[in-house]
Chains A and B, each alone.
Chain A
Amino acid sequence: MKVQHDIVIVGAGLAGMRAAIAAAEKSDELSIAIIAKTYPIRCHSVCAEGGTAAVLREGDSFDLHAWDTVKGSDFLADQDAVEFFVRECPKEILRLDNWGCPWSRNEDGTIAQRPFGGHSFNRATFAKDRTGFHEVHTLYERMLMYDNIEIYPEYFITNLVIEENAVQGVSAIELKTGNLVFFEAKAVIFATGGAGRLYGFTTYSHQVTGDGLAIAYRNGIPLKDMEFFQFHPTGLIPSGILMTEGCRGEGGYLLNKDGERFMKRYAPEKMEIAPRDVVSRAMWTEIIEGRGLEGEYGPYIALDLRHLGEEKIEERLPLIRDAAIKFAGVDPVEEPIPVKPVAHYTMGGIHTNVRCETTVKGFFAAGECACVSIHGANRLGSNSTAECLVFGRVAGEVAAEYAMNAKQGRISEEFMKEEESRIYDGLLGKNGDESPYEIKKELNETMDKNMWIFREENGLKEAVKKIQELKERYKNVEINDKTRGFNTDLMMAIEIGYMLDLAEVVAIGALKRQESRGAHYRLDYPKRDDENWLKHTLAYYTPEGPRFDYIPVTITKWEPVERKY
């Protein structure tokens, strides 16, 4: 089946929905489709908890926010993009306010803000500890007002069509029926999120498998800085559910087994609210050196909120309390929460410029799946939801402008037949002796072991070898469920194929980068090396594996200096 729209947005999280609204505001003549493999409000953005950074109040400034972001990024962020980004954040907060977001408030009725890791001003705007949840619902509800936005929920994207370096459309499986649907479009925006499920111990939703990243990559669009993967300091044990940075922002302590606030040895000034890479490394060092607490799931660090008192916890961190009770059997009012660092954010992504444009005409990327880059080697807490809002808007507006002057994309009958046979004969109809789930399990184990917070050459080489072996084995998978309607077996098998490609890029990229910067820490190269490595990694797809290239970082105001907290 064929469907035509002016703009097709893939992914219905914060960035995707923001892009849809921005495009619809630009013109009510444009027909906009937003397709996603879940219903819009089931996206992973709802899991964002702590806040959204924005300069709103006296005493704060754009330069300060930009400096914090650049310093947090370990100077790998493009500073022109950061400067643009920080100026756009406040408007997005106010727009959400105008659209009904239930921001937490000060007594005088103004929007409240809280301290957050790596920020030198209290600028994390929040709605209790469900910030992402409320932002997603606000955007979704706002999106319902526009008649020219059509939502296609539960469509699983399979490919991107590019001809003569211009985008033509996308193909997707309508899950309900199992039919392939081809969307012809003038412009396509990817807002498909990160690749967090590469890891086993992760805060990510089950659906975050890097589909968009892998599809763009396979179609020749470079991925940038994929070796930088953020580890959030506080993942609940054993599930990995996120315990927001807001816990520490509101004054929570991290304690080792001696009851010591060990952060004083690693970041004497910022203590617990140092940037995430610093805190995660500190926690992991404590664990490796035997100062973690012992639990039935191995060593952990205690996140102590008891001194905040029940009233403040209920007022500011109700979701955290609820989750700790439900998933770990621990009431933070009475006991410290068992946590350890957990895979949390993909700094890298589809290579875009500050206008969200990629190397292909009419193809845009925004949100976590894109890499502008404003996060560089390490993202600051509360900058991700802000990024989704700001660059979602940019992508929507730029795509709308582009679509108003572009000709309709065309998908050939040939391609449709090929795609149909690739999926239904090549994958679903095929016999083999490998289980995709076994491959995924082994991939997760490898990532958790060799691509964790501390990396070194041998481990990375082992990981690359393992991933390549898994890729070979993947060619031989068999999908047991041969039916068409709502075949989640097929969907997961395709996702695992995407993940293998991405894991390879992450592993080889990490192996090549012989320095420690931000979230990428090499035990064999523990120092930052600005002379050789102050540059972005670009990974290009080739059938034999990724080809790497490097491009310089844009520096405007801030020369790299030593990073101390």
Chain B
Amino acid sequence: MAEFKIRRFDGKKSFWQTFEVPAKKGMTVLEGLYYIKENLDSSLAFRASCRMGICGSCAMKINGKPRLACETQILFLGDKITVEPLDNFRVIKDLITDFEGFFAKHKAVKPYLIREDVKYEEPKELLQTPEELNEYYVFTLCIKCGACYSVCPAAATLDGYLGPAAMAAAYRFCADSRDKGNEERYEIASSSNGVWRCHLAMECSEVCPKNVEPAKAVQMLRRKTAFSILKSILRW
């Protein structure tokens, strides 16, 4: 038996509720939540989909740390589990938080390949060596679960801050040898909600379930942005 202590929210008030879940070896926190929903209290609301750590739905604060519920085993944490919604996000219901702003920030950094010379009707193979691929590959692994954003102290005090995930997405394209749109992204990155707001707590890299190293991406983006600004000043 494991004790699940869950911070719930019904749209008006927040309260704690405790459930007893029969925990077996190998059982994940997500399975525990489904057990509660199917057997104890079906009003419990949480997001989940792939249950294999790739869709990014089920990030929540488990025993004080943001983790993916689907890949966190109950018995690794002991028989007392505390589950809370992610910090830095507005709670909608129980463990479900509002991701609208998070995705809007991702969109704001132009996270797509910018290139004038490719045609929709006649696509062509762009060459890229394995080494060039490795330059950015790790940053493509972001599943947008929001764990990084929830621990970011800069995001805690500035709602508009782009945050680690969005900037990692920006850097991922800046570092892609096929991309030609860096300058556009530097402009966004150097805005007042961009790279300069990062104060290097590096907690984002610590909690990232996919080891994307968003903190590194932000620093690399900062360096690229700084050089780009410097270059434009010197030329002037």
The residues of A with any CB-CB pair to B shorter than 8 Å are 25, 38-39, 41-44, 46-47, 91, 94-95, 97-100, 102, 104-111, 130, 133-134, 137, 141-142, 144-145, 153, 176, 205-207, 238-239, 241-242, 319, 322-323, 326-329, 435, 437, 441, 479-481, 483, 485-489
A480 touches B43 (CB 8 A): yes
B128 touches A105 (CB 8 A): yes
**Cβ of B235 < 8 Å from any Cβ of A?**
no
A94 touches B43 (CB 8 A): no
**Known: A238-B26, A481-B43, A488-B45. Contact between A109 and B53, CB under 8 A?**
no
A483 touches B123 (CB 8 A): no
**Cβ of B144 < 8 Å from any Cβ of A?**
yes
A100 touches B176 (CB 8 A): yes
Q: Closest A-chain residue to B92, C-beta based?
A: A486
The residues of B with any CB-CB pair to A shorter than 8 Å are 10-11, 26, 28, 37-39, 41-43, 45-57, 71, 92-94, 96, 98-99, 103, 107, 111-113, 115, 118, 120, 123-130, 132-133, 136-137, 140-141, 143-144, 169, 173, 176, 178-179
A98 touches B113 (CB 8 A): yes
Nearest CB of A to B105, in Å: 12
A176 touches B92 (CB 8 A): yes
- Give Cα A327 to B112, complex, Å: 33
Q: Closest B-chain residue to A137, C-beta based?
A: B140
- Give Cα A338 to B127, complex, Å: 38
- Give Cα A100 to B113, complex, Å: 5
A-B contact pairs, 17 of them (CB 8 A): A39-B103, A47-B52, A95-B120, A97-B123, A97-B126, A106-B130, A111-B125, A142-B113, A144-B112, A239-B51, A241-B52, A323-B53, A327-B26, A437-B38, A483-B43, A485-B93, A489-B42
List the 4 shortest-distance A-B pairs measured between CB atoms, nearest first. Answer: A109-B127, A481-B43, A100-B113, A94-B123
B140 touches A41 (CB 8 A): no
- Give Cα A41 to B111, complex, Å: 14
- Give Cα A435 to B42, complex, Å: 9
Query: What residues on B are CB-neighbors of A205 within 8 Å?
Result: 49-51, 55
Query: What residues on B are CB-neighbors of A97 within 8 Å?
Result: 123, 125-126, 178
Q: Closest A-chain residue to B125, C-beta based?
A: A94
A94 touches B124 (CB 8 A): yes
- Give Cα A172 to B31, complex, Å: 28
- Give Cα A105 to B176, complex, Å: 14
Query: What residues on A are CB-neighbors of B37 within 8 Å?
Result: 437, 488-489
Nearest CB of B to A49, in Å: 9
- Give Cα A134 to B48, complex, Å: 20
Q: Closest B-chain residue to A98, C-beta based?
A: B118
- Give Cα A512 to B86, complex, Å: 51
B123 touches A105 (CB 8 A): no
Q: Closest B-chain residue to A318, C-beta based?
A: B141
Nearest CB of A to B90, in Å: 11
B57 touches A38 (CB 8 A): yes
A133 touches B52 (CB 8 A): no
Given A46-B50, A102-B176, A133-B54: 12 more A-B contacts, CB < 8 Å:
A41-B143, A41-B144, A43-B49, A97-B125, A105-B133, A107-B130, A108-B129, A239-B52, A326-B71, A481-B42, A483-B11, A489-B42
A109 touches B128 (CB 8 A): yes
B99 touches A99 (CB 8 A): no
Query: What residues on A are CB-neighbors of B132 within 8 Å?
Result: 109
A483 touches B96 (CB 8 A): no
B43 touches A43 (CB 8 A): no
B112 touches A47 (CB 8 A): no
- Give Cα A174 to B223, complex, Å: 42
